[in-house]
Amino acid sequence: MGDSLSGLFEGYREGFALPGAVYKDPAIYELEIRHIMLRSWLYVGHQSLVPERGDFFLSEIAGESVIIVRDGQGAINALLNVCRHRGSRICDTETGREARFTCRYHGWTYGLDGSLKAAARQAEGFDKSKWGLKRLQLRILAGMIFVNFAEDPPDFEAFAREMGPPLAPYGLDKAKVAHRQNYPIASNWKLAVENYCECYHCQPAHPEYSVAHGRAVPRAECDVALAEVMAKAPSVGLTQDHVNRSWLQAEQFGLEYSFDRYPLFRSHLTGSREGRPVAPLLGSITGYDGGTTDLHLGPMTFGLAYCDHVVLYRFAPRGHYLTDCEITWLVNGSAVEGKDYNRADLIWLWDVTTIADKSIIERNQAGVDSRFYEPGPLSPSMEPFTQQFLLWYVAAMQRITGGGLPDRRPVANIRKTAEGRT
């Protein structure tokens, strides 16, 4: 690996933003895709999107298209959307129901489990069993489907073991998708993740969010309110536990996760225009404790769990200057639209917030593209989670550009300077 690339990461200063080159160098992007994205557990959608045999949806990341489909045995499969004959895309419908997938190029036909069913006029002795669609590793936690492109992915069981219990009261395996929407951002993926991980920008950019969400102020200013929420949590069926395996706290690279409560202010019960419920209570939750939950689910998915709905953010690079930000709104599976919830009210907060973020992030990209951009200092009280993301990223890239793989918990070799914070 080139010295200039590894030098870029060896030279990172803790407490500061990243240098501009990491947002625009195609060689760095390709390393990130190969060694970070394609080795990580990636949320692709909720199981309620594929309730019946043959139901499918497509999920795309970095030019790779995956068919998520329920087969005749009731299992959900992740099939690479690349024909085993001469490589054509097979399916280009975003969602639907099929009995089989037929490649329109020369007619090879595959079953819902990816097995090759028909290939006309092949040589004698052609063994169909060797030419099924490639399958990705797939696991489900609380109804959320995760895939991994690696043959030896990090152990998902640790994730299920630690995150399953705190998520259980939300009953997400019985939830349904009320709305799903993509907000493509014309920026490098890291700027989108950096933005999601801090709330320094919330006061100026998100008045709708900041009016009631404790993340909009430094954590120390939420201590009393959070203690009240945690005292009340068990009485509504929520846990007092938290989980922190985010970024460098993760045991395994590619499986970063956390479950972290914080308070809502001004008597808001949930994330909505007036703070009033916008859907029936989820799962076994019996009331509102005045808090919400930040979720980190694999390195590229984040979320908020309110007592009446859950919002999941899936970030996925499409190119080094284009990032999908796909949001899933989950409600109780028995809730009926128009009767139990109104879609416009349900999505209002995170729709308006994400539209604002898209604009901020795109302007951030324009600025870091300047030849004169220099990384500036982070706010210790308002950007600690973004700092953790940057340390994790730099540690991974130090390993990758040094010729290794970040397959275990990477440790950053960070330059500490007089201007640095440590």
Given the rule CB under 5 A, which residues bind Fe ion?
357
SS3 166: helix
**Could you tell me the smallest distance in angstroms from the CB atom of residue 280 to ligand FES?**
46
- Contacted entry of ligand FES, Fe ion, none for residue 103, CB cut-off 5 to 8 Å set by kind: ligand FES
Sole binder of ligand FES in the list 97, 100, 106, 421 (CB under 6 A): 106
**Could you tell me the smallest distance in angstroms from the CB atom of residue 220 to Fe ion?**
21
Cβ-based nearer residue to ligand FES, 106 or 273? 106
**Could you tell me the smallest distance in angstroms from the CB atom of residue 60 to ligand FES?**
19
In one letter, which amino acid is 97?
R
**Could you tell me the smallest distance in angstroms from the CB atom of residue 105 to ligand FES?**
4
User: Does the footprint of ligand FES cover residue 219 (CB under 6 A)?
Assistant: no
**Per-residue CA distances from 327 to 188, 311, 389 (Å):** 18, 7, 21
Q: Any idea what the Cα angle at residue 152 is, between residues 75 and 23, rounded to 5°?
A: 105
**Could you tell me the smallest distance in angstroms from the CB atom of residue 384 to Fe ion?**
16
- Contacted entry of ligand FES, Fe ion, none for residue 106, CB cut-off 5 to 8 Å set by kind: ligand FES
Cβ-based nearer residue to ligand FES, 88 or 388? 88
User: Does the footprint of ligand FES cover residue 88 (CB under 6 A)?
Assistant: yes
User: Does the footprint of ligand FES cover residue 128 (CB under 6 A)?
Assistant: no
**Could you tell me the smallest distance in angstroms from the CB atom of residue 419 to ligand FES?**
56
Among 279, 284, 262, smallest CA distance to 173 is for 284
Q: Any idea what the Cα angle at residue 334 is, between residues 329 and 338, rounded to 5°?
A: 70
Q: How far apart are CA 69 and CA 75, in angstroms?
A: 8
**Element of type H or E holding 390:** helix 384-401
Contact 225, 332 (CB under 8 A): no
Q: How far apart are CA 370 and CA 313, in angstroms?
A: 29
Sole binder of ligand FES in the list 28, 83, 144, 202 (CB under 6 A): 83
How many Cβ atoms are within 10 Å of 98's Cβ, its own excluded?
Answer: 16
Contact 298, 146 (CB under 8 A): yes
Contact 298, 149 (CB under 8 A): no
**Per-residue CA distances from 263 to 222, 227, 302, 381 (Å):** 7, 9, 18, 17
Cβ-based nearer residue to ligand FES, 28 or 103? 103
Cβ-based nearer residue to ligand FES, 96 or 107? 107
Cβ-based nearer residue to ligand FES, 116 or 255? 116
Q: Segment near ligand FES (CB under 6 A), from 12-20, 100-108, 138-146, 400-408? A: 100-108
Among 413, 296, 315, smallest CA distance to 357 is for 315
Cβ-based nearer residue to ligand FES, 87 or 96? 87
Q: Which residues of 49-79 are buried (b: 16+ CB within 10 A; e: fewer)?
A: bbeeebbbbbbebbebbbbbbbbeeeebbbb
Contact 408, 252 (CB under 8 A): yes
Cβ-based nearer residue to ligand FES, 134 or 409? 134
Cβ-based nearer residue to ligand FES, 89 or 408? 89
Tokens of 243: 């989980």
Sole binder of ligand FES in the list 103, 279, 327, 347 (CB under 6 A): 103
Sole binder of ligand FES in the list 24, 34, 53, 85 (CB under 6 A): 85
Cβ-based nearer residue to Fe ion, 55 or 294? 294
- Contacted entry of Fe ion, ligand FES, none for residue 16, CB cut-off 5 to 8 Å set by kind: none
Strands 116-118 vs 95-97: parallel, antiparallel or unpaired: unpaired
User: Does the footprint of ligand FES cover residue 22 (CB under 6 A)?
Assistant: no
User: Does the footprint of ligand FES cover residue 86 (CB under 6 A)?
Assistant: yes
Contact 23, 191 (CB under 8 A): yes
**Could you tell me the smallest distance in angstroms from the CB atom of residue 196 to Fe ion?**
7
**Could you tell me the smallest distance in angstroms from the CB atom of residue 134 to ligand FES?**
14
Query: Binding residues for ligand FES, per CB under 6 A?
Result: 83, 85-88, 103, 105-108
